[in-house]
Structures are given as structure tokens and as C-alpha cells.
A = this chain, B = another copy of it.
């Protein structure tokens, strides 16, 4: 039996934080990552558009014979996970449930805050997931649209970042949450300033680690986990030219990104449609 790869996608580069945890947990696994860098960001787009893009990407990756798909983007997980799970016959794991599970496990006072993009917060996906795990938990949410551009600009610890974090997080802090879910893969880059504003007593939850654990559990239970003696290969696809992805990606992964290819999803869709009609 040949071992298939784990597929993983994000609107852009942020999902590499999830990939990093997957590799740490299962260094023997092959991975195929797709970053939709030509259409990033997803956070302000409608659920319909994000779902359409997610289906396109999942179709592309499923054709590459993956054994499991990780939706590493919080926005895509929030609005399109169910559609993907209905549409494709492999296990599909989002980042919302793992993050929610961790938050429900670590809160002591039963008050959990969630921050994310506009689309993620509007979807209420985190609130529903946390309440499914423990209906008694109070969930307070806040969209933080400027956090992604701040992280991409590299302004993660200056006065602008501090004031922005204060403005977004003030009410959350006053509400007395003891746990805060960083519901966007970019937000760990702003972890320090968020921790400063929220204060020492608030525990920050980032979904990446918990998602990797969930993936390992599923593969183990289905006997799809590759023997640990091997060392995995990692392939990357992006929809814009690779240069920016490689530069920033090296910062994310702390290594040398290789094997990055550009793919045109619109053309892939067009080819497929013309094939169907021919």
C-alpha cells in the first residue's frame, strides 16, 4: 500500500502555522498545501464566495489523491466545512472544532472570548461549536478586521498595533473572559500585544496544535497513519506567483520552503467544465 498525503489549504500563508504543527506531530507524513494567494483575504468576503473558492481548492487537492483534508483557514472552516464534507468522500477537518474544544477544556470561569475575521464572527461557528461541547459556557465574540493587514505589514508590536488591539479587545477584557480563542491563523503573530492588552490571567488558545492532534487521531483510528520511520515530503501550491509566499513562508516555518508551484484554479475549473461538456 502506498501512503497518501495530507491535503491542507488556507486563503494564503497563515495556514502554514497549522502545517507546522502537523509536521511536528507526524513528521513521517507527506503533505500538499494550497495557499489561495491570488484571492486572499477571505475574511471580508461572503459565505457564498468563500464556499465556492473552498470547493474549487478541495477539488484540486482531492484529485492529488490525499487521504484527509485540513481546512486551515478559520473563515473557510466557519462557512464552508459542511459543504466540503457533503461533497467529498474523505475526512475533512476544520480548525473551528479543535479550537472550540481546547477553549471549552481550559476555561475555568465559563467565559470564553473569540476573535476572528468579519466572516468568521458573523457565522457564529465558534459560538455554536463551544456551546455544543458545553452549553453553559458564555461566548463573547469580536471581529478584528485590521489584525490581518497589521500582521502582514509586520506591525505586530508598535503603537498602532497596541491601540488597535486595545480598541478591539477592550469590551472583551471588561466582560471577564478567562480564555481567548485566536480565531484566525494570522493572529498568533500578534500574540504578544494581545496578551499584553488582555492581561496575564487570560489564556490564549490557538487552534493549530489541537487541529494536528485531531488529524493524528483520525488517521490512527482509520489505520491511515504512515509508519513513523519515514520522513515526509512537502509540496506547495499557490495561486499567485510564489515569490511572496516563499519569503513570508520561510519566516512562518523557520526553514527553507522548496517545491512551490503556481496553479491557476480558474483554468483548472475551465478545463474540467469543457471536459464535461465535450
Interface residues of A (CB under 8 A from B): 37-39, 44-46, 48-49, 52, 56, 145-146, 148-150, 152-153, 155, 158-160, 163-164, 167, 239-241, 243-244, 264-267, 269-271, 273-274, 277-278
Q: What copy number does this chain have within its complex? A: 2
Shortest CB distance A88–B (Å): 19
A269 partner, pick from B146, B244, B266, beta carbons under 8 A:
B266
Shortest CB distance A27–B (Å): 32
**A271 to B266, alpha carbons, bound, how many Å?**
11
In the bound complex, residues from chain B placing their C-beta under 8 Å from that of A243 are: 46
In the bound complex, residues from chain B placing their C-beta under 8 Å from that of A277 are: 274, 278
Question: Given contacts A270-B269, A270-B274, A274-B277, are A160 and B149 in contact (CB under 8 A)?
Answer: no
Q: Is the interface of A mostly helix, strand, loop or mixed?
A: helix
In the bound complex, residues from chain B placing their C-beta under 8 Å from that of A278 are: 274, 277-278
**Best-surrounded residue of A155, A269, A271, A273 (most CB of chain B within 10 A):** A273
**Best-surrounded residue of A148, A159, A266, A269 (most CB of chain B within 10 A):** A266
Structural contact, B155 and A240, CB atoms closer than 8 A: no
Would you list 17 pairs from A and B whose C-beta atoms are within 8 A, ordered by A residue? A38-B39, A44-B152, A45-B240, A48-B241, A49-B241, A56-B266, A145-B152, A145-B153, A146-B150, A146-B160, A160-B163, A160-B164, A160-B167, A266-B266, A266-B270, A274-B274, A274-B278
In the bound complex, residues from chain B placing their C-beta under 8 Å from that of A267 are: 269, 273
Shortest CB distance A239–B (Å): 8
